[in-house]
């Protein structure tokens, strides 16, 4: 099964729709609740990262009997120092984003904790592609 969603720059109002829709699908498929939780935490965080930092992008989700693969690809500033970005507490979020309760530098660490495989391809001035895999067994 394949699903695609769009990400709009700065549109926090609709953020979470992709995660919500994927959660509903996984529930219908009878996926184990622990795996559903891991999946939606990772997807939501990646979605918020793209909304907060990028200029726009797409989310592609593939679900088969073995795994869930989520690819969040954005056009944006890229991540200049990935090691720093992966550190808990490190954030470059704007004041506005921080006032909403984001920007605590917990997004990428949350993604890493909740996925079995995480790959981040990033190029400064071009964009970032985050590929997250959750294995079902």
Residue from 10, 16, 56, 78 touching other proteins (CB under 8 A): that is 16
Pick 54 or 108: Cβ nearer other proteins:
108
Phi and psi dihedrals of 91, rounded to 5?
A: -150, 150
The residue with tokens 């729709």 is: 17
Asked if residue 107 binds other proteins (CB under 8 A), the reply is: yes
If 0-12 CB within 10 Å is exposed, 13-18 middle and 19+ buried, where does residue 101 land? exposed
Asked if residue 95 binds other proteins (CB under 8 A), the reply is: no
Phi and psi dihedrals of 68, rounded to 5?
A: -120, 120
Residue from 100, 116, 119, 126 touching other proteins (CB under 8 A): that is 100
Return the range that interacts with other proteins (CB under 8 A); candidates 2-10, 15-23, 61-69, 75-83.
15-23
């Amino acid at each position: 099964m394949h699903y695609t969603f769009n990400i709009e720059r700065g549109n926090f109002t609709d953020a979470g729709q992709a995660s919500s829709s994927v959660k509903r699908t996984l529930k219908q498929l009878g996926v184990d609740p622990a795996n559903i939780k891991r999946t939606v935490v990772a997807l939501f965080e990646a979605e918020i990262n793209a909304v907060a930092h990028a200029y726009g992008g797409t989310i592609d989700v593939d679900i088969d009997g073995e795994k869930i693969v989520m690819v969040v690809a954005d056009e944006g500033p890229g991540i200049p120092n990935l090691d720093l970005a992966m550190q808990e507490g490190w954030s470059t979020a704007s004041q506005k984003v921080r006032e909403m309760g984001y920007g605590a530098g917990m997004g990428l660490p949350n993604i890493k904790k909740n996925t079995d495989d995480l790959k981040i391809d990033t190029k400064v001035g071009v964009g970032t592609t985050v590929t997250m895999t959750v294995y079902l067994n």
